[in-house]
Structure 1
Amino acid sequence: MKTKLGQYKKFDFKRPNVIVSDDEINGFCLKIRERYKIDVEKEGTVEKGDYIVIDYNAYHDGEKIPEVSAKNHHSKIGEGFLIKEFEDSILGKKKSDLIEIDVILPDKTSIKYLRGEKVHFEIKILSVMERVIPTLTDAVVKSFKIEEINTIKELKEYAKDNIYYQKMMNQSANTINEIMRKIMGNSQVQLKDEEVNSLKDEIFEDFKKQLEKRNTNLQIYLSYTKKTEEELLEQCKLEAETYLTEKAIIEKIAEEENITFSNEEKERYSNYDQEELNQKLYQKVVLFLLKENTI
């Protein structure tokens, strides 16, 4: 594949005014923290939404029923996993409390001879926990395991970069398309037929899979759109050519402008596959093009 770049700078489009506020950064970090809630031992009584660990033994006519007994059973109160009367007896109790209760087992109980029967339960509460959003510390940030980010400062920089890029992309989508259209019009890219055909087939097969997910198929689609399979394949080929041309131009600009990953970024992206690395490089080149072509 040979690429000859034409003009790719100084097109003078209007630059979007992108500002990332502290509130946006904190909001981004909060969403991450919410995904990593932790269980914290609770001093008070059991409430709905709490997480408990219990031992319980079940007895029928004085005989212990191993199948309905358990040790170190974990459950969330209010989720409906426990029999209502059983769960209600735990509400308001606290760690180390012992509870005894008689429960009529439901008709859908898996053990047939116990369906509709009264069973006596002895319950011991081993632990009461509530799930909370962790306070940000460097240790907590490290536990997130996000791109090798280990400190609060790095997390906030990561948040700012992501928000800035997303806002820039949202506000600049049309500008980016126009910049790329001009660059592609000024440049020459010789594509390899085998690469184009391979990607064309991949796009075509992916399109058929998407149709199947929507409970339809290629024949129905062609009938509805009044297209032939050859026309659709030609459309897929055009998409493949456009994608490969843009990719070649992006890579060439990165080469010409020496747009690479810093040592810190290389370390951060060390576990990324090639597709993810290509996307990160694409982002850097797009931001460069926006900077060079907007005023």
Structure 2
Amino acid sequence: MFKKKLLMGVLCITMAAVAFGCGSKKNKDEKSQTEDQTSDESAASKIKYNVDDYVKLGDYKGIEVAKEEAKVTDEDLNTAIKNILQSYPETVKTDKQVVEKDDTVNIDYEGLLDGKAFDNGTQKGANLKIGSGTFIEGFEEQLIGAKVGEDKSIKVTFPKEYGNKDLAGKEVVFNVKINYIGEEKIPELTKEFIKTYTNKDMTIDEFKEQLKSELLEQKKTTIQTNRIDAVKTKVLENSKVKEFPKGLLEAKISDIKKQVTEQAKSQGMELEKFLTQNYAGLTLEDFNKQVKTSVEDRLNLLLITEAITKKEGLELTDKEYKEQVEKYANQMQSTVDVFEKQYGKDSIKEEFQLQKTWNFVSEKAVEK
């Protein structure tokens, strides 16, 4: 509840539709905000042109790529298991009595605003590593020096931009009890751990086989991604965009700025303040430069892709779009309507078209 807000890269936001993984599951408030947005046609989609007038295509079939084999070694499997176990450390009680930085403490706490407990502000038996920055700023530091069994009152102030408007910018008091100081221990791979991790009853061997299968699929996906990237790089080098269609660059930049401005507005902030507070002091000037550079690179890719699409008759069909958008919406635990309004239907179609065309080019590549 009191974790510091994690920051995504600003270009992940501005080009959100490029890779939908930048999105996340929406809570109720976020969903209603998204549903209130309009899904107007983007400015860029209104600009009409003949792509053949702007692109000189080079070779895009028979591109040579390195041959890669998907396989999972024992070392790969052991590393994956080790990473899983390290992600679920057990906190073991120690005899230590005074809290120091980097200690893991087990605490009960109750948060009070104007003397009254507020929602989601109370928990018993919470494990907290001092100095991790997990809780609101100032909370962890004030526990240093506290003793096991001691009751301690801590005053902290929520950030002005905090998501809960009832708490944003407010000073609150947390009554905290130190239950014990623990140390993190990496668990063993047991049937009990596997049940907790997978919510399934399986033997250690069965778990390893399942994990190995998952790792193999990940390797295949990585190889395919690397293959497409390699092919794409060579095709972009072989081809040339003579110039951008009139007004297209400016329209794309406008669409992105509009998207980020709307996000700032949803948090009750002007764009400049939103960037400064959320992106380590990023100025509006630097933001504008980054957006322009990204859009220029993006347009270069889009126009060359469009030229290949037109030449090969690879235009995305309505059926393909429907199947893809339903799949992505389900993966993000959303609805198609909310998903389209979140990213913009034009941007989603653009991304699906990129996938279809470059999968085709990748299939025509030659392994050496």
Instruction: State the TM-score bracket (shorter-chain normalisation).
Output: 0.3 to 0.5
User: What's the TM-score once normalised by structure 1's chain length?
Assistant: 0.38
User: What's the TM-score once normalised by structure 2's chain length?
Assistant: 0.32
Please identify the structure whose Cα radius of gyration is greater: 1
